[in-house]
Structure 1
Amino acid sequence: MSDARQGLVRAIHQFVPSLAARDAIGSHTLAVQTLLREMGFESEIFADEIKLELDGRAQPYARYRRQAYRADTWLLYQSSIGSPIAGFLAERREPKILNYHNITPAHLLEGWDPYVGEAVTNGRRQLELLAPGVSAAIAVSSFNRMELVLAGYRSVAVAPPLIDLQAFDQPADAATLRRLEDAKVGGGRSLLFVGRISPNKAQHDLVKMLFAYRRVYDPLAQLHLVGASFSDSYREALLSFAHSLGLEGAVHLAGSVTPGQLAAYYQAADAFVCCSDHEGFCIPLLEAMYHRLPIVAYGAAAVPETVGGGGLVIETKEPARMAAAVHRVLSDPGLRQALIVTGQAHLSDFRLERTKAQFAAAVTTAISRPAGQPPVGQSPVGQPRLGHRVVRHTSGRV
C-alpha cells in the first residue's frame, strides 16, 4: 500500500465495542488488523470489552485518551451496537472510517430485554452522531449501505465481512452426529437454523412453519435451533409456544455448541431454514452453502443479497407457504441440486482473498481523499443529524 509506505498515513487503529473469540465481528476485526498490517499500516485494536480468551490482542479503549492527535493516524470503528466508544470517537480529531455490521431495530428486541433495546436505540442514535465526523464508511452489505446513506453518511463502500471459509471445514463431533443420525432412523426430515435465539431471528416463526410442515408433509420432521439465547424470557416463551402446538419433542434448542458439534448439525440436516426479520449479513447462510445444504429463507433485509442464487428466497413467511417451499426443495432432487451448485458458485464471491481485496480498496479510497470530502459527484444525503451532544451510551452485545 503506497500511502502507508510514503508516510502519508502511518496507522489505522480499530475500535470495537466487544472483542470475543467465536464471534463474527470479533473474527472480522482480527482479520482486518492482519490486513491493515499487511498493507503497511501500524494497527492496534481498542475495545470496551475484551473477553479473556483474547486478552493481549486488544487494549481498553480508555488508554487511547492519552494518545495525542496525529494527522497521520486514522481510526476505524466496528459499529454493531450502542457503545461509549462512539461518544469517545466523536470527540477525537483524527479522520475516521466506520465499518457497519448493522444494528437491530429496537422494536424487535425491547419488549423482551429493555436493556438491549436501549443499547440498540443508542447505537442507532450514535450512527447519526458520528456521521458528520466520519470521512468514509464500509458496509458489509448493500442493505447496510442503504441504512448508512439514510443516516447521513456521504461516502459508503460495500465490502463483505472477512471470513475464512475454510474455517467452516471442521470434523464433525462423532457423538453429536451419531445422536442426530439415530434420531432420523424412524424417518422425518431434519431442519436447521443457526443463530442467536432472539426475537429478530424469529425462531417462533420457524416453529409455526414446522407445525404446518408436519401436518401436511412430514409428521416426523424435526427442527434444530443452534445458538446462544438472547434472553431467558424469549427462550422460555419459544419453548412454551412449541409445547402449546404439541411440538415439545420436535423442536430442539441446542444452545451454544463447539465447532465440531456445529459441523455435526450441518452434516445431519436436510435443509437450512431462516425466517429472520432483520439481518445485516447472516454468515450462517454461507456456512449452510459450504456444507451443501439447500436453503429456504424469508427475504428480509440483507438475506436475499447474502443468499444470492444459493437458496429459495420467498417474500412471505406465512407458515403454510414457508412449509410448501421447504417441501418443494426437499421433494425435487433437481431443484435441490441446482440450489447447492449455485450456492457453491456464490461462495466464491466471499473467498478471503477476494474480500480482503475489496476491503483494502475501500480503505485505500477512503484515505486517498482529504478527510470529510465525499467522492466526486456525490453530495451529502440523508436525514438531519444529531450534533455532538451528550448521549447516554450503553455497552452490550446483541
Structure 2
Amino acid sequence: MILNEKKEKQQKKIHILFFGMPPGNNLIDGYSKWFSPIIKNLKKNDRLNVYYINYNKILNEKFEILRFILIPYLIYKLHKYKDEIDIVHVLRQNAWYYNIFYALKIKKNITPLKIITVHDIYTAKGKVNFKIIKNIAHADAIFCPSNYTANDIRTILKINKPVYVTYNPLDPSFYCMGTDDKLKMRKNILKERSSRKVLLSIASEMPRKNFEKLLEVLFLFNTSMKEKILLIKVGQFTKLRYKYINIAKKFGIENDILWINYANEKDLLYLYNISDIFITLSDVEGFCMPLIEAMACGLPIIGSKSSAIPEIVGNAGILVNNNDNKEIIEAINTLLYNIDKRNEVIENGFNRIRAFHEQEISRIYFESYLTALEKGLNVK
C-alpha cells in the first residue's frame, strides 16, 4: 500500500505555469526564440501540464498605466488555476515580470514553487547589476543558461538559493548548406563584394559587446594585409550606431562594413553560410545564441576568453584576449588561411552542438524541475 502511494506520488502530473514569453510562433525577441522549442517539447511530456500567460498582450513598457493594472490582471488570470499549479516559472529578468510573484502573495490559495531564469547579472555597460538581487529574492530557485552565470549568482550576488544550469537550445532550422548553394547566396547578397572574405558579427550595440574593438581590429587587418575583409554587422539600430559609423569613417573602413538592422531566421541562415568567420569580442555574455547557430552552419568562431563564451564554444573556435589586437588578427589569419585548423574547428563545432539539441535541453529542464520539487520547496 505504501509503495503504491509512493509510486502514485512520483508519477502525478506536474502543473507548470510560464510567464514571460508569447506562446507558439510569435517570436518577438530573443527570449521567445530560445524558449519556444522548450515549451513545445515539454508539452509532449505526459508527466506535465503546461500553461502560460501571454505577456505581450498585457505588457507594453511605453504605457505607464499598465503598471497599475498588471497585478489585478494577473490575479484574475491565476484564479482559473485555483490550487493546481506546482511551479511558476518567470522567464525574463526584467523587473516587470516579477509582478506575478506579488500577485501570488495576494492569491494565497496558490503556493507553487517559484522559479526565475537569470540570463546574466550585468548592465548594458558590463557592470554588475546588483538591483537584480531584489528580484531574485522572490524566487525559490534559479535557472540560468551557463555555469558562468550560475557562478556569478553564487559568488558575486551571494544568492543562497538552488541554481540549475539549463543551456539554451539550438534551433534546428540552422544547418550547413552545400558549397554550390553557399556560392549562389554569396553572390546574391554580397554582389560585387562576393569575392571578399567575410567576418560576421551578430549582436546588439550595447557597450559591453565591445564593438569599438572589432572596428579597430578591422582597420588594422585591412591596412596591414594584402586581402581586405568585409565585416557584416547584424543588430538593431540604436543611437550608438552614429558613434560606430563615425569611428569607421575615421579609420577609413566605412566601405568595409555591411550594416544589417534586422534579419529573420532564414536571413540569418544565409548570413552564417556565406561568412568565413563568426566573431564576438564581448566583455560579458550569459550564453550567446549566435555561437551555437554558427557551429551548426559550419562557421568557425573567434570569441573572447571572457564570461560564458569559452564554456559554450569549447573547441569549436579560437579564444582570444578581446583587448589584444595582435592575438585577434592572428586568429583571423589562422581561420582564413590554415585549412587544416579551419576544418578541425568546424568539425569540432558539429560535434559540440549535440549538447544543445532541443530534445536534450528539454530533458534537462524536466529533470531540473523534478529535482527542485523533490527538495521540498513549497511542494504541496
Normalising by structure 2, what TM-score? 0.81
Q: Judge conservation of contact 1:225–1:254 (CA < 8 Å) in 2.
A: yes
2:17 to 13, 26, 35: 13
List aligned pairs for 1:158-177, cutoff 5 A. 158-164=165-171, 166-169=172-175, 177=186
Distance 1:177 1:350 in 2: 28
- Note the alpha carbon deviations across 1:208-241, whole angstroms, 9 max, x for none: 1101111222442111101222x2x201111111
Distance 1:317 1:85 in 2: 36
Task: Return closer, same or farther for 1:107/1:260 CA change in 2, 3 Å cut-off.
Answer: closer
Higher relative contact order (CA 8 A, sep 6+): 1
Asked if residue 86 in structure 1 is aligned to residue 98 in structure 2, the reply is: yes
Asked if residue 199 in structure 1 is aligned to residue 207 in structure 2, the reply is: yes
Task: Return closer, same or farther for 1:2/1:358 CA change in 2, 3 Å cut-off.
Answer: farther
List aligned pairs for 1:286-305, cutoff 5 A. 286-305=292-311
Task: Return closer, same or farther for 1:173/1:326 CA change in 2, 3 Å cut-off.
Answer: closer
2:140 to 91, 116, 135: 135
Distance 1:5 1:310 in 2: 40
1:234 to 224, 236, 240: 240
Match of 1:27 in 2: 33
Match of 1:147 in 2: 152
Distance 1:223 1:189 in 2: 9
Q: Identity percentage over the alignment?
A: 18
Match of 2:87 in 1: 74
Q: Judge conservation of contact 1:61–1:85 (CA < 8 Å) in 2.
A: no
Distance 1:244 1:51 in 2: 45
Match of 2:225 in 1: 217
Say which SS state the counterpart of residue 50 (structure 2) adopts.
coil
Match of 2:67 in 1: none
Q: Judge conservation of contact 1:285–1:307 (CA < 8 Å) in 2.
A: yes
Say which SS state the counterpart of residue 283 (structure 2) adopts.
coil
RMSD: 3.0
Task: Return closer, same or farther for 1:78/1:190 CA change in 2, 3 Å cut-off.
Answer: same
Match of 1:97 in 2: 115
Asked if residue 353 in structure 1 is aligned to residue 366 in structure 2, the reply is: no
Task: Return closer, same or farther for 1:261/1:367 CA change in 2, 3 Å cut-off.
Answer: same
Say which SS state the counterpart of residue 285 (structure 2) adopts.
coil
Match of 2:192 in 1: 183
Say which SS state the counterpart of residue 167 (structure 1) adopts.
coil
List aligned pairs for 1:245-394, cutoff 5 A. 245-371=251-377
Say which SS state the counterpart of residue 307 (structure 2) adopts.
coil
Say which SS state the counterpart of residue 43 (structure 1) adopts.
strand
Count of paired positions = 346
Task: Return closer, same or farther for 1:45/1:247 CA change in 2, 3 Å cut-off.
Answer: same
List aligned pairs for 1:110-129, cutoff 5 A. 124-125=130-131, 127-129=132-134
Q: Judge conservation of contact 1:213–1:324 (CA < 8 Å) in 2.
A: no
Stretches of structure 1 that go unaligned for 5 or more consecutive residues are 53-59, 110-119, 374-398
Greater Cα offset, 313-322 or 356-365: 313-322
Distance 1:178 1:251 in 2: 16
- Note the alpha carbon deviations across 1:121-176, whole angstroms, 9 max, x for none: 5xx52x32244442222211101111222431421111111333x21149879986
Say which SS state the counterpart of residue 183 (structure 1) adopts.
helix
Amino acid at match of 1:63: Y
Q: Judge conservation of contact 2:316–2:352 (CA < 8 Å) in 1.
A: yes
- Note the alpha carbon deviations across 1:261-285, whole angstroms, 9 max, x for none: 2222222211111111111111111
Normalising by structure 1, what TM-score? 0.77
Distance 2:176 2:328 in 1: 30
Say which SS state the counterpart of residue 44 (structure 1) adopts.
strand
The offset of 1:371, in angstroms, is 1.2
1:65 to 75, 98, 104: 75
